[in-house]
Amino acid sequence: MAIREVREMGDDVLEKQCKPVTKMTLRTKILIEDMLDTMYEKMGVGLAAPQVGILKQIVVIDVGGGPIVLINPEIVETSGEQTGEEGCLSVPGKWGIVTRPNYVKVRALNENMEEFEIEGEELLARAFCHEIDHLGGHLYVEKVEGELHDSPAYNEGDMEYEVEE
């Protein structure tokens, strides 16, 4: 498919509320494929539709177990806490310390518009929270404890999140 331009902090589209997806269309299927291709090309572990300029409630994630597509996701349960470095493809070259739940359960629709629930811990829980925040117009920088800092090894191929052990 196609690699889409990733919008960066300061772009108004990243501050807007996304609209729910009401039906699966060919255009939406292409968007999901493009989002996955873009996420993999940029070496991220997650990407939300507003990051490619589309105000739809769609998230793609892959923390190493294969792609996860979440349509109209909502967090229905959280527990525990983890604090670690977090970055974002929309804030290139920067990292910050963010505290997130260590366990997250999400309810969403799949690509067939069927409801399902998925659970994640550690990195996957962090990714769920980070990407779903994008759908409400929020970037992780709003949650950073202390200052943002430059990633010393930053290049276009760095991972989007890193969890401190």
- What is the number of other CB atoms lying within 10 angstroms of the CB of residue 63? 20
Which tokens is 130 given? 């980070």
Query: Which pLDDT value is given to residue 152?
Result: 65
131 carries an active-site annotation: yes
Indicate whether 151 pLDDT > 80.
Answer: no
* Residue from 5, 117, 122, 131 carrying the catalytic annotation: 131
Average pLDDT, the chain: 92
Give one word for 161, left, alpha or beta, with left for phi > 0 and alpha for psi -120 to 50.
beta
3-state class of 56 per DSSP?
strand
Helix, strand, coil percent content, the chain, rounded in steps of 5: 25, 35, 40
Q: What is the pLDDT of residues 80-121, one digit of tens each?
A: 999 999 999 999 999 999 999 999 999 999 999 999 999 999
Contacts of 47 (CB under 8 A, 6+ apart): 6, 35, 36, 38, 39, 59, 60, 61, 89, 131
Query: Which pLDDT value is given to residue 73?
Result: 98
Give one word for 29, left, alpha or beta, with left for phi > 0 and alpha for psi -120 to 50.
alpha
Indicate whether 154 pLDDT > 80.
Answer: no
